[in-house]
Structure 1
Amino acid sequence: MDRISKLPLGIIETILCLLPIQEAARTSILSREWRYHWTKIPKLVFIENKFRVATDRPELSVSNKPSKRMKAAKRGKFFNAIYQVLLIHEGPIHEFTLDVEVDDSGVEIDHILLHLSKKNTLKILKLDITGDGYEGYVLPISLFSLRQLTDLYLSDCALYHERSFNEFSCLTTLYLKNLSTYDSTLMRLLSSCPLLKRLTLDSDCATISESGHTPIADLFKCLPVIESLSIAFSIVKCFFPERLPKELPTALVHLKYLCMDGVSFSHIYGLPFLALLVRSSPNLEKLKLVMYEEYWLDEDERVSLTLEDYSDITLEHLNEFEIRRFMDTEHELDYVKLILAKSPLLKKVSIFPGCKFDEDEKSEILKILFCSPCAAPVEGITFRF
């Protein structure tokens, strides 16, 4: 222990950051020197499911599940522990993670964010707020006072502020999962992040409400320096998809990585939306597609399209292509062949099946791909199936 105590303070803080907050707090009993080390760590992580109290014990009931009263009592202790840590914490807090289930207004979270906004040292904030039948924790305006943020992760939250946001002038990474908001509010949020390089939009029309008829192209005007984009295909339906252009007015020249989740080539907007982004990303290096099972599509969503309409696509810098939930439908296999024909620098193709293929079926698909026209030397491409 004496040897550890002599380590530089920065290394001790790094070690403590790797421990759950309760374990880090327990180091205060090691010695007088260690009593306050844990109160200075810049990274705080609070996960309700991993929080333990002294009275934790198996619930004596038929279902063996905690009662609502016990859950509420434990959650109260959880938030009290957070308040105590924040009250005695010394120095800057650079990273804060909160993973909790709520079933009311979330006023406790409001208090936490208000405290963090007054400190104004936070660089990374992760909020994962869940709850049974809960419509989403409504983010308070104090969130937008965190102007030092570089990374913001929001899961199952709600944002309905109509006023303009303060500029997130340092934000480079934004992760939004099931964010309940309006399309216009989402664009105001993105427009307030001029340095945004990495964006994940994992939402759908159940969470993004249409406040007007905003063209999808307007969404990408808010992303002038984007380098990595992961987007759920369903979001296109929230932004007046009837007006999908062939290309964006301003190309996404910095975009190197594109992931589209839940896309179907049989959907009326599937190929057009994907082609829009690919045509508008001249420097794309990696393309990842997660396919959507076509039998879930409604009849009015289906369309018969031919890939010949997209023969003008070029992928001069693409070196990696990945497709997940591959079902070997006609359009899926043809799209892989199109990628091969249009990517002179392609080095790696990864195909992850969405159903079970036997070895003969795999061999037949690979044979078709190896015999397809290929812009890059086929012997230089690694196929993963």
Structure 2
Amino acid sequence: MDRLSGLPKTILHDILARLPYKDAAKTSALSKTWRDTWSSYPNLFSKMDILIDYVTKRLLRLCAQGLTIKEFKLNLIYLLHPPHGSHDVDRWIQMASESGVELLELYLSNGSIGREYSEDIWYDLPLCVIEAKSLTKLVLTGGIIVGQEFLNHSIKFSSVKMLSLSRVLFRHEGVIEHLISRCPLIEHLTVEHCSVYNHLSIDGPQVDRICHVKSLFLNGLQKLKEVDVQGIEEEHIDSPNLEKLCYSHFKLGGPLKLNFDSCTKLRCFE
């Protein structure tokens, strides 16, 4: 496979053209070279244009008819790479948010989290998500950044009862706790292997490095009943109505600190 990866991109594109579409898509998992080849595959762009045009027209038609979009689920891989921008996804979320969406589920996988941060492979969650006043379930998985603008004190997810954050990247370490605290009615919370990034400058130019979220403090969430946390070393929970707590450490045998003394209704601890 290494010998194949060294071939000119035109030949690699020709190989993709001879494969069934699903098999061609799977090559993106082989290596960075194949991932770049897949994202620059000419036939892929034409199919993406068709997809973008279809989704946009469909949503516009629903909005024009005044119909409610109760569920909006988006599962995309590499759609955000050039020549396609994130503005299409922003527009879709905007329309869904303004149309009474109750379930918003975004899975934007751009590969696994590495140590170095690269702006062009992540999707910035737009603030228009806040406009979804009827939102009860928010699921964010992979390839998504939640920016510092979400630290704004006026932000409030007043209807969200279920929040799931999996492999999400936060621009500031305080964003994740602030985001959770702005969900006063939350009952179910999942936080899995989320990360933050910071600026490092060691004997050279500044590089944005990604590190895993190390601590999580949950306070004042009166409705919270279930919590599932993975990959965080230190966790403090002050939720008197918590009934179930699931915890999995990122590193087997590593240090951990759990504090849930105030959870007097806890019935299940895994």
8 Å Cα contact 1:225-1:254 kept in structure 2: yes
| Aligned mate of 2:146, from 159, 162, 178 | 159
SS of the counterpart of 1:183? coil
Aligned residues: 209
| Structure in which a larger fraction of residues adopt helix | 1
CA distance in 2: counterparts of 1:208 and 1:186, whole angstroms:
9
Runs of 4+ in 1 over 6 A off after TM superposition: none
SS of the counterpart of 1:201? strand
1:81 aligns with 2:54: yes
**What corresponds to 1:130 in structure 2?**
109
| Aligned mate of 2:263, from 281, 292, 298 | 281
CA distance in 2: counterparts of 1:75 and 1:159, whole angstroms:
25
**What corresponds to 2:232 in structure 1?**
235
TM-score, normalised by the number of residues in structure 1: 0.49
User: CA offset at residue 265 of structure 1?
Assistant: 7.2
Residues 241-288 of structure 1, C-alpha deviation per residue, up to 9 Å, x if partnerless?
5xx8xxx6x74221111111236673222xx32xx23x3422222222
| Aligned mate of 1:107, from 77, 87, 94 | 87
Residues 295-318 of structure 1, C-alpha deviation per residue, up to 9 Å, x if partnerless?
xxxxxxxxxxxxxxxxxxxxxxxx
| Structure in which a larger fraction of residues adopt strand | 2
User: CA offset at residue 99 of structure 1?
Assistant: 0.6
CA distance in 1: counterparts of 2:179 and 2:46, whole angstroms:
36
In structure 2, the gaps of 5 or more residues are 1-15, 26-37, 112-117, 200-212
8 Å Cα contact 1:117-1:143 kept in structure 2: yes
RMSD: 3.0
**What corresponds to 2:221 in structure 1?**
223
In structure 1, the gaps of 5 or more residues are 1-57, 289-385
CA distance in 2: counterparts of 1:127 and 1:100, whole angstroms:
8
Query: What is the one-letter code of the residue matched to 1:60?
Result: R
Task: Give the stretch that moved more between structures: 220-229 or 139-148.
Answer: 220-229
8 Å Cα contact 1:197-1:227 kept in structure 2: yes
| Aligned mate of 1:168, from 135, 140, 157 | 157
CA distance in 2: counterparts of 1:113 and 1:226, whole angstroms:
27
Larger relative contact order, structure 1 or 2 (CA cutoff 8 Å, min sep 6) = 2
After TM superposition, the structure 1 = structure 2 runs for residues 322-337 of structure 1, keeping only pairs within 5 Å, are none
Using the aligned pairs only, state the percent identity.
Answer: 18
| Aligned mate of 2:243, from 252, 256, 273 | 256
SS of the counterpart of 1:65? helix
**What corresponds to 1:20 in structure 2?**
none
SS of the counterpart of 2:148? coil
TM-score, normalised by the number of residues in structure 2: 0.68
8 Å Cα contact 1:161-1:185 kept in structure 2: yes
